[in-house]
């Protein structure tokens, strides 16, 4: 999953919002390796949950189906692109998943992340500044934001030439990718809820 989904999942998995878990969903893309003892416990658990979701998602048939919708020459990187597409599909169907509006949730997620900026590596801070200034989370439902994010991923992979063919596949296959998303996303939320319950969250 990408940034929006990782921030939302702990919110859906628990009856009451835990801002540090939401922040950890964002931090998980930037904090690598063993977690520092100085991290607040809930933030650390949010990062662990992010890692757990990533590991679990690789096992899901719906994710595999989405990856298989990409041609062979793009298949190696398909899981990363599927994560980005998931945020777009989540944003498009937002009202079915969360009672808050997407801009309201985005603002609360930015606020949660901001509370823990001292623990965020520099690369994460730079991206967070960009995301907050442009309200990226709230704009994931826009096609322009989707294709911009796909191009950004391609550049980070040093495969800038993939941006155009990936965008073409996503444009053509978006309805099928949406069907896959409806299948796998509830499983991710249920898995997160079970994982959090095991760790004493209610």
User: Does the pLDDT at position 1 exceed 80?
Assistant: no
Specify the pLDDT at position 70: 96
Task: Give the domain ranges of the chain.
Answer: 3-198
- How far is it, in rounded angstroms, from Cα 14 to Cα 38? 25
pLDDT (tens digit, 9 = 90+) per residue, 25-60? 999 999 999 999 999 999 999 999 999 999 999 899
Band (160; pLDDT cuts 50, 70, 90):
confident
SS3 64: helix
Band (202; pLDDT cuts 50, 70, 90):
confident
Q: How many CB atoms lie within 10 A of CB 7?
A: 28
Band (102; pLDDT cuts 50, 70, 90):
very high
Percentage of the chain beyond pLDDT 90 is 96
Specify the pLDDT at position 58: 87
The answer for 3, left when phi > 0, alpha when psi is -120 to 50, beta otherwise, is alpha
Specify the pLDDT at position 132: 97
Q: How many residues does the chain have?
A: 202
pLDDT (tens digit, 9 = 90+) per residue, 85-96? 999 999 999 999
Q: Quick one: DSSP state of residue 17?
A: -
Specify the pLDDT at position 10: 97
- How far is it, in rounded angstroms, from Cα 44 to Cα 28? 9
- How far is it, in rounded angstroms, from Cα 189 to Cα 167? 27
Specify the pLDDT at position 50: 98
- How far is it, in rounded angstroms, from Cα 176 to Cα 95? 20
User: Does the pLDDT at position 62 exceed 90?
Assistant: yes
Cβ within 8 Å of residue 197, ≥6 positions away:
none
User: Model's pTM, two decimal places?
Assistant: 0.95
């Amino acid at each position: 999953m990408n940034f929006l989904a990782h921030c939302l999942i702990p919110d859906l998995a628990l009856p009451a919002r835990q801002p540090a878990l939401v922040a950890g969903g964002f931090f998980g893309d930037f904090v690598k390796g063993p977690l520092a003892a100085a991290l607040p416990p809930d933030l650390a658990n949010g990062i662990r949950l992010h890692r757990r979701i990533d590991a679990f998602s690789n096992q899901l048939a719906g994710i595999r189906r989405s990856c298989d919708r990409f041609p062979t020459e793009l298949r190696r990187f398909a899981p990363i692109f599927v994560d980005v597409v998931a945020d777009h599909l989540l944003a498009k169907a937002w009202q079915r998943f969360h009672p808050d509006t997407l801009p309201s949730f985005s603002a609360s997620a930015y606020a949660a992340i901001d509370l823990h900026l001292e623990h965020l590596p520099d690369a994460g801070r730079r991206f967070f500044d960009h995301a907050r200034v442009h309200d990226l989370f709230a704009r994931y439902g826009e096609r322009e934001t989707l294709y911009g994010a796909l191009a950004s991923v391609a550049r980070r992979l040093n495969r800038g030439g993939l941006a155009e063919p990936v965008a073409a596949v996503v444009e053509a296959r978006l309805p099928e990718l949406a069907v896959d998303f409806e299948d796998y996303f509830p499983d991710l939320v249920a898995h997160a809820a079970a994982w959090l319950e095991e760790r004493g969250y209610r």
